[in-house]
Chains A and B, each alone.
Chain A
Amino acid sequence: MGGLSVDPTTFFRSDGKRVSGRAVDELRPVKIEAHVLENAPGSCYLEWGKNKIVAAVFGPRECHPRHQQRQDRAVVRATYNMNAFSVEDRKRPGLDRRSQEISKVVSEALAAVVLTAPFPRTAIDVYMEVLQADAGTRCAALTAAAVAVADAGIPMTELVAAVASGKVGGTVVLDLDKYEDNAGEADLPMGITSRTHRVVLMQMDGNFTTEQYHQALDYNFAAAGVLHEKQRDALRSRYQTVAARQPQEGGAEAEDPGASSEEE
């Protein structure tokens, strides 16, 4: 293994940059917007390279089926869904095993930062839709989901962002794109919290040496910090926009109060 069999020029240019022009520790461009949907109390649209994700949160609300209820807390139920047109070959709609696994690990990652105890016997439902996929969708989805949960006004101890490092041509790189991922020799997606820097999602496949593993961890922790800042900016600008709009809106409130979802 170790990638020696792969010609490094497949992935790196003569100047040491990757084929995409990125440095080994450089993220793809990430754009986050909070509160993009009208019906959902919390939502987020996120572009990460060519990935496009929309996430929405409902709840805390009545939990059924009832057997999923917990007497002492809310349950966090995240659903990751890849749309038919989001990948090269049309994906048949519906949940497959991969989606179900991702949904589970994302649910658990969110449960680690959401304050669930104040809402016993309820469900917090988080829906993540992949509109366009280009490797790294689970990380993008969790990063978007965390913003949507915060946007819904659900109390959290801190934010969580996810990012992966992997290995191509024997070299550890941050944030593999589709081209790199297809030939990736290792992949380490991690969800990392913003304040206490806890790891709340972690998966890995492939092959890392000890040094490569440490390098990947370094990349992921550093990149998570960058993402946390983008998440905060998205949430901040959403509330700044609301605040700036508030004064002149008072008079024109012909709409019914129930239709507004801005109950903080």
Chain B
Amino acid sequence: MRDITISEIRRGYLKDLAAQERRVDGRGLEEFRPVTITTDYIGTAEGSSKVTFGASEVVSGVKLGIAAPYPDQAASGVMMTNVELRPLAAHLFELGPPRPPQIELSRVVDRAIRESKAIELQKLCVKEGEKVWMVFIDGIITNHGGNLFDLFTLGSIAALMTSRVPAKAQGLGEDYKLPIQHRPIAITSWKLGDQILVDATLEEELVADARLTVATNESEELVAMQKGGDGSFSREEVEAAFERSAKIGRDLRKQLEHATGA
């Protein structure tokens, strides 16, 4: 957090605007920035996507490899999610080992994908107890314009939905589509003062008192949540966050399905 600091005046301005249900860029509180989803972006990956929310930008790639299963899930494939907040994305990222914000982002997105059972991992068993497919989901944030949890969740699922299992290269028959059965979408509610908004810009994110990320599946059931920040949410607010996530998730999922041809 070296170069990105927010003056008290600016902080007050953003909160005052929010109190009037307004935002610097003219959006409504529950309005997303323009969303773009490009798939098959990286030729070296089994599946890939580039997703943008306004200035926020993530490139996600899925790679598959053969690994040993976990002893307690001998007949199930394995997945791993990792995101890199590269220093080119904003002044506030520095080189070095992953820091807590990066680890949290990876883990929350991992949860949304894993707990929704998006990938049919039991179909990724090659030989029980010995060989299974390992699914690596990697993302890099190339520009941090805020709202990375929602961004990388969408990037991950878009990359997964367009992935193929490279069976031929492993001598395991023909390549086939990675089995994806659910489409989790995360929507984060950001709290500024007493107001809640979605798709925060980096500046709004820095001013927010708290955030609550809620991931839902296509049946609009809850699959993962994470609260962050020093502030708090009331019971009514956490209920509303779920409804908001389901509602906005519906629109984003439509765009996702359109972009991936699903």
Q: Hey, which bits of chain A sit against chain B, CB under 8 A?
A: 37-40, 43, 50, 52, 54-56, 58, 61-62, 79, 81, 83-90, 93-95, 125, 127, 129, 131-134, 254-256, 259
Query: Residues of B contacting A39 with CB < 8 Å?
Result: 55, 89-91, 143-145, 202
Q: A83-B140, A85-B44 are in contact. List 6 more A-B contacts (CB 8 A).
A: A37-B142, A39-B90, A43-B88, A79-B87, A131-B41, A256-B10
The CA of A87 and the CA of B42, in the complex, are separated in Å by 10
Cβ-closest chain B residue relative to A38: B55
Contact across chains for B88 and A84 when beta carbons are under 8 A apart: no
Q: Which of A39, A43, A55, A127 has its CB near the most chain B CB atoms (within 10 A)?
A: A39
Q: Which 5 A-B pairs have the closest CB atoms?
A: A85-B61, A56-B88, A84-B138, A127-B88, A90-B63
Contact across chains for A129 and B95 when beta carbons are under 8 A apart: no
B90 to chain A, nearest CB (A): 5
The CA of A130 and the CA of B135, in the complex, are separated in Å by 21
Total contacting residues, chain B, CB less than 8 A: 38
Q: List 6 A-B contacts (CB under 8 A).
A: A37-B89, A39-B89, A40-B88, A52-B42, A83-B61, A84-B63
Q: Hey, which bits of chain B sit against chain A, CB under 8 A?
A: 2-3, 10, 24-26, 41-45, 48, 55, 57, 59, 61-63, 65, 82, 84, 86-91, 95, 97, 136, 138, 140, 142-145, 202-203
The CA of A93 and the CA of B89, in the complex, are separated in Å by 17
Cβ-closest chain A residue relative to B14: A256
The CA of A38 and the CA of B141, in the complex, are separated in Å by 12
Given the contacts A62-B2, A86-B42, A90-B136, A255 and B24 also touching, CB distance less than 8 Å: yes
CB < 8 Å neighbour of A93 from B42, B84, B203: B84
Contact across chains for A83 and B3 when beta carbons are under 8 A apart: no
Given the contacts A39-B145, A61-B3, A84-B82, A127 and B87 also touching, CB distance less than 8 Å: yes
Query: Residues of B contacting A52 with CB < 8 Å?
Result: 42
Cβ-closest chain B residue relative to A259: B203
CB < 8 Å neighbour of A54 from B44, B63, B138, B142: B142
Query: Residues of B contacting A254 with CB < 8 Å?
Result: 24-26
B87 to chain A, nearest CB (A): 5
Query: Residues of B contacting A86 with CB < 8 Å?
Result: 42, 44, 61
Cβ-closest chain B residue relative to A88: B44
Contact across chains for B142 and A132 when beta carbons are under 8 A apart: no
CB < 8 Å neighbour of B62 from A37, A85, A93: A85
Contact across chains for A131 and B59 when beta carbons are under 8 A apart: yes
The CA of A93 and the CA of B98, in the complex, are separated in Å by 10
Q: Which of B41, B82, B88 has its CB near the most chain A CB atoms (within 10 A)?
A: B88
The CA of A117 and the CA of B231, in the complex, are separated in Å by 46
Given the contacts A87-B44, A89-B65, A129 and B88 also touching, CB distance less than 8 Å: yes
Given the contacts A54-B88, A56-B88, A259-B203, A83 and B138 also touching, CB distance less than 8 Å: yes
B216 to chain A, nearest CB (A): 27
CB < 8 Å neighbour of B87 from A54, A125, A256: A125
CB < 8 Å neighbour of A85 from B24, B55, B138: B138
Given the contacts A39-B143, A256-B24, A83 and B88 also touching, CB distance less than 8 Å: no
Query: Residues of A contacting B57 with CB < 8 Å?
Result: 37
B185 to chain A, nearest CB (A): 22
Cβ-closest chain A residue relative to B48: A85
Contact across chains for B43 and A50 when beta carbons are under 8 A apart: yes
CB < 8 Å neighbour of B88 from A55, A90, A94, A134: A55
A250 to chain B, nearest CB (A): 17
The CA of A68 and the CA of B216, in the complex, are separated in Å by 48
CB < 8 Å neighbour of A37 from B3, B82, B95, B143: B143
Query: Residues of B contacting A58 with CB < 8 Å?
Result: 87, 91
A31 to chain B, nearest CB (A): 15
Query: Residues of B contacting A87 with CB < 8 Å?
Result: 44
Cβ-closest chain B residue relative to A89: B65
Contact across chains for A93 and B44 when beta carbons are under 8 A apart: no
The CA of A52 and the CA of B42, in the complex, are separated in Å by 8
Query: Residues of B contacting A134 with CB < 8 Å?
Result: 44
Q: Which of A54, A85, A125 has its CB near the most chain B CB atoms (within 10 A)?
A: A85
Cβ-closest chain B residue relative to A54: B142
Contact across chains for B84 and A83 when beta carbons are under 8 A apart: yes
A106 to chain B, nearest CB (A): 14
